[in-house]
Amino acid sequence: MNKPLLCFCAGILAALSSAQAGPDAGKELPSHAQLSEKLKAVVTGGGSAGFGLNMWATIVNRDGEVVAIAFSGNDRGDQWPGSRVISAQKANTANAFSLPGLALSTANLYTAVQPGGTLFGLQHSNPVDTGAAYKGPSENYGKANDPLVGNKVGGVNVFGGGLALYNSAGKLVGAIGLSGDTSCTDHIIAWKLRHALNLDNVPAGVSPTGDDNIVHDPASGWNHPTCDAGAEAIADALPVTHPVGPNP
């Protein structure tokens, strides 16, 4: 094959590969560097209740493929090691059960999946792909080359900390998952981080404020247990302190 034809074929293959990628192909989502920077700023900024621990954060695209994983500490051991996969599960859950017109956070699903709930058993669907979750050298966990990047981790996690991501135009582009502290603080930090990334143009939700905030009213059917009074107050105020919608 001559060189011009070879180059032409290579270009066609590259175009096909791009066309077959996910609906956003990561282009509308933060890079590892951006995620890491914003995560560290939110965690060190305090005011999120809980124990003040370091956190893991995972972003998936609309196809559920992991785009980036980061941690807020100096090393992967500065956060609970088990929270790496949990953060990915939360991201997968928020993405899997949110729609262009309705956002459901992982916290919103907690009560519905309990025995007798309307979604009982949901947490046992879409199991984690352990081959993807734990493959590769541990030294790369939380880095730009984390082995989970580009893979679908699966899993359904209904603790607070998972939120769908909507860009400034209101397009649903994936989700983010946080883990490493109490589940209520995980939700608070996820909300603040999503806001910092300008991916919180939420169209509607089941919370009293019409978004996907954590709900504490047992009568709603979408409530999540209260971790502590401080976290509840901070979370209830999030739509005011960190309002959804595109940042200026």
Q: Residues 141-147: what's their mean pLDDT?
A: 97
> pLDDT by residue (tens digit) across 20-52?
334 444 578 999 999 999 999 999 999 999 999
Q: Which residues contact 239 (CB under 8 A, 6 or more apart)?
A: 207, 209, 211, 213
* DSSP secondary structure code for residue 214 in this structure: -
Nearest to 163 by CA among 183, 187, 198: 187
pLDDT at residue 26 in the model: 53
- Rounded to the nearest integer, the mean pLDDT of the chain is 90
pLDDT band at 247 (very low <50, low <70, confident <90, very high): confident
3-state secondary structure of 48: coil
Query: For the residues of 157-207, what is the DSSP string, one character each?
Result: --SS-EEEEE-TT--EEEEEEEESS-HHHHHHHHHHHHHHTT-B-----SS
pLDDT band at 248 (very low <50, low <70, confident <90, very high): low
pLDDT band at 11 (very low <50, low <70, confident <90, very high): very low
Q: Residues 185-209: what's their mean pLDDT?
A: 97
Q: Which residue has the higher pLDDT, 11 or 127?
A: 127
3-state secondary structure of 57: strand
**Domains located in the chain, CATH noted:** 26-241 (3.30.450.150)
Euclidean distance between CA atoms 109 and 121, whole angstroms: 11
Q: How many CB atoms lie within 10 A of CB 79?
A: 24
Is the predicted pLDDT of residue 103 greater than 80, yes or no? yes
> pLDDT by residue (tens digit) across 80-89?
999 999 999 9
Is the predicted pLDDT of residue 12 greater than 90, yes or no? no
> pLDDT by residue (tens digit) across 52-68?
999 999 999 999 999 99
Q: By percentage, how much of the chain surpasses pLDDT 70?
A: 89
